[in-house]
Amino acid sequence: MSMMVGSRGPRAEMNVTPFVDVLLVLIIIFMLIQPRTDPRGMRAEVPQPPDHDQHQPTPETTVVLEITQSGDESVLHLNREAVP
């Protein structure tokens, strides 16, 4: 630190050169370390799209839903079978 004496009185100044040197060294270290942490050695199986030639269409299923009123009760029939 240096002291300047002038008309305004003593004034302290901070020397930032060592701080900049430390920051530059840290940046260089991080730049050298970064390529080694790249996960190039890991392999993953990529899902393949399905083969359209072997794909068989699913059969269509018809569902019949019937609601009937018998007296005060409603009766539900699914494919002609009563559902309790």
The answer to whether residue 68 is domain-embedded is no
The answer to whether residue 71 is domain-embedded is no
State whether residue 38 is helix, strand or coil: coil
The answer to whether residue 72 is domain-embedded is no
The answer to whether residue 14 is domain-embedded is yes
Phi first, then psi, for residue 77 (nearest 5°) are -120, 130
Report yes or no on whether pTM surpasses 0.85: no
Task: Please give the residue range of the domain that contains residue 33.
Answer: 10-37
The answer to whether residue 18 is domain-embedded is yes
Separation between Cα atoms, residue 75 and residue 83, nearest integer Å? 8
**What is the reported pLDDT for 24?**
96
Separation between Cα atoms, residue 34 and residue 28, nearest integer Å? 10
Phi first, then psi, for residue 81 (nearest 5°) are -115, 135
The count of structural domains within the chain is 1
The answer to whether residue 57 is domain-embedded is no
**Mean of the per-residue pLDDT values for the chain?**
81
Residue range 15-37: mean pLDDT, rounded: 87
